[in-house]
């Protein structure tokens, strides 16, 4: 067998030099380049581009997310130190800070948004739904919420928020069953969260869970007219009249289950139908909650338990803020910020697909930690997750969340 000189003066067989794919290449093999090409062609992303294509841009951004790089300079410096591996990583051969910065500034963020939604659809189809929600198989269950990311006004001048502060807001619709975001809208800090309800396409028999900030009776009535359901919490100043009271099981914490109508002139005009008002006592936190919903089929306890699922969108925001790069941005323009956010979403969904593909019991946090230090290894990816007796590792700033 032919031998080749190694740096340590030992003889190594040439077949041992380049066996297998790098872990990063194995991860991104879950993505379909043809789907991405359709998104690029739609927005002419590669128009007059010779070397550093949109695909190379996506690979660099995903590598930075998975490797937990702090800045664009940090990312490019690390990649340039591994120049001999660029071809096998699929990131092209012309990476520089100026190339990547220019691509993020100029190439349409909609390319990455469109691809993110294609990947989300794929993930929602193949990820096994949460078993604890099996009793709600007839319904789609979604949580709606918004998170704010503070920015420096002098640098991000376009992201208006307050007099001396800038911010962007991520308006998100999360599929509770798969725990995958199925809609994200990025706006400046001044855009109120309730406006996202005008952009969502409500599906019949979908249950949309939201907090009090989304109470707008005309928009809630739009949900009702789409034969969908909402679950939210009542504001303290809501004026109503009781039409009917159902029997309440106080042993389960249900203090009241009422059918009500609004009495304020404008509110009643915006929402002329009846809906349910459920008063619930949580024995664990010793707090009382008042829920509003237009669903008369589920029990009052089921409504309360469904509202508990709203925490999953809070956990999603916490996860991407702590473990992906969306709080410190690698570009200053609106386009660059949106490119980075959608690349972070693509990375999040890819990690979820890795978890599903290899049937591992590890959490997405644990998978991300393992990937971050093995991206340039050639270990078969399934071996990374199946072998060792991994200790239970708590995430940073871990808090046990209560029911509400």
List C-alpha distances in Å: 56 to 45, 52, 333: 12, 6, 20
pLDDT above 70 (res 191) = yes
| pLDDT band, very low/low/confident/very high, at 16 (cuts 50, 70, 90) | very low
Taking only the tens place, the pLDDT of each residue in 380-403 is 888 888 754 445 455 555 454 454
Given a contact cutoff of 8 angstroms between Cβ atoms, the answer to whether 258 and 242 are in contact is yes
Q: State both tokens at 156.
A: 């991000």
Given a contact cutoff of 8 angstroms between Cβ atoms, the answer to whether 390 and 362 are in contact is yes
Specify the 3-state DSSP secondary structure of 173. strand
Residues in the chain: 404
Taking only the tens place, the pLDDT of each residue in 225-251 is 999 999 999 998 899 999 999 998 888
Q: State both tokens at 252.
A: 């389960």
Unique residue bearing structure tokens 């469109």 = 114
Closest CA to 300 of 285, 290, 313, 287: 290
C-alpha 269: how far from its chain's center?
Answer: 36
C-alpha 366: how far from its chain's center?
Answer: 17
Find the angle CA(231)-CA(117)-CA(56) to the nearest 5 degrees: 145
Taking only the tens place, the pLDDT of each residue in 145-181 is 999 999 988 889 999 898 888 999 999 999 999 899 9
Q: What is the DSSP letter of 120?
A: H
Q: Is the dihedral of CA 312, 318, 323, 328 positive or negative?
A: positive
Given a contact cutoff of 8 angstroms between Cβ atoms, the answer to whether 348 and 65 are in contact is no
Given a contact cutoff of 8 angstroms between Cβ atoms, the answer to whether 197 and 222 are in contact is yes
Lowest mean pLDDT among 74-78, 88-92, 188-192: 88-92
d(Cα 348, Cα 66) in Å, to the nearest integer? 9
d(Cα 189, Cα 163) in Å, to the nearest integer? 11
pLDDT above 60 (res 87) = yes
| Per-residue confidence (pLDDT) for residue 364, from 0 to 100 | 86
| Per-residue confidence (pLDDT) for residue 133, from 0 to 100 | 83
Write down the H helix ranges in 169-324: 217-225, 265-270, 300-308, 311-323
d(Cα 79, Cα 58) in Å, to the nearest integer? 14
Beta partners for residue 165, in sequence order = 162
Domains of the chain: 3-110+336-386 (no CATH), 211-305 (3.30.1370)
Query: For strand 275-282 and strand 11-13, is the pairing parallel, antiparallel, or unpaired?
Result: unpaired
Unique residue bearing structure tokens 């009271």 = 245
Closest CA to 212 of 259, 298, 145: 145
Q: Give pTM, 2 decimals.
A: 0.86
d(Cα 187, Cα 166) in Å, to the nearest integer? 11
List C-alpha distances in Å: 149 to 4, 146, 184, 370: 53, 10, 14, 27
| Per-residue confidence (pLDDT) for residue 135, from 0 to 100 | 87
Query: For strand 160-162 and strand 165-175, is the pairing parallel, antiparallel, or unpaired?
Result: antiparallel
Given a contact cutoff of 8 angstroms between Cβ atoms, the answer to whether 321 and 327 are in contact is yes
d(Cα 369, Cα 71) in Å, to the nearest integer? 19
Rounded to an integer, the average pLDDT of 304-313 is 93
Quote the strand ranges of 100-239, DSSP E. Answer: 140-151, 160-162, 165-175, 180-188, 206-209, 229-233
d(Cα 61, Cα 356) in Å, to the nearest integer? 23
Per-residue three-class SS string for 312-349: HHHHHHHHHHHHCCCCCCCCCCHHHHHHHHHHHHHHHH
């Amino acid at each position: 067998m032919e031998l080749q000189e190694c740096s340590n003066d030992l003889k190594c067989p040439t077949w041992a030099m380049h066996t297998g794919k790098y872990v990063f290449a194995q991860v991104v093999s879950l993505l379909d380049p043809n789907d991405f090409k359709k998104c690029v062609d739609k927005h002419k992303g590669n128009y007059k581009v010779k070397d550093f294509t949109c695909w190379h841009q996506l690979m660099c951004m995903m590598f930075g997310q998975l490797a937990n790089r702090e800045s664009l300079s940090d990312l490019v410096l690390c990649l340039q130190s591994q120049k001999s591996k660029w071809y096998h990583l699929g990131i092209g051969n012309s990476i520089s800070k100026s190339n990547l910065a220019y691509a993020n500034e100029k190439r349409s963020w909609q390319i990455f948004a469109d691809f993110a939604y294609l990947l989300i659809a794929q993930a929602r189809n193949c990820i096994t739904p949460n078993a604890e929600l099996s009793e709600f198989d007839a319904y789609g269950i979604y949580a709606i919420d918004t998170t704010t990311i503070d920015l420096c006004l002098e640098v991000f001048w376009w992201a208006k928020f307050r007099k001396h502060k800038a911010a962007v807001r991520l308006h998100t619709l999360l599929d509770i069953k798969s725990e995958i975001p199925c809609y994200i809208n990025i706006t400046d800090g001044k855009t109120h969260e309730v406006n996202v309800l005008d952009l969502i396409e409500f599906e019949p028999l979908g249950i949309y869970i939201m907090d009090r900030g989304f109470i707008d009776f005309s928009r809630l009535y739009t949900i009702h007219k789409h034969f969908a359901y909402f679950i939210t919490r009542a504001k303290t100043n809501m004026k109503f009249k009781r039409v009917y009271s159902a029997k309440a099981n106080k042993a389960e914490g249900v203090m009241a289950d009422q059918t009500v109508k609004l009495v304020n002139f404008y509110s009643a005009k915006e929402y002329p139908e009846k809906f349910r008002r459920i008063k619930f006592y949580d024995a664990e936190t010793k707090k009382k909650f008042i829920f509003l919903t237009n669903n008369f089929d589920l029990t009052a306890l089921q409504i309360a338990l469904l509202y508990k699922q709203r925490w999953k969108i809070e956990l999603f925001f916490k996860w991407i803020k702590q473990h992906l790069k969306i709080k410190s941005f690698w570009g200053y323009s609106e386009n660059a910020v949106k490119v980075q956010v959608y690349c972070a979403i693509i990375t999040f969904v890819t990690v979820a697909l890795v978890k599903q593909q290899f049937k591992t019991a590890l959490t997405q946090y644990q998978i991300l930690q393992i990937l971050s230090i093995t991206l340039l290894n050639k270990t078969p990816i399934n071996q990374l997750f199946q072998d060792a007796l991994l200790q239970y590792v708590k995430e940073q700033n871990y808090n046990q969340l209560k029911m509400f």
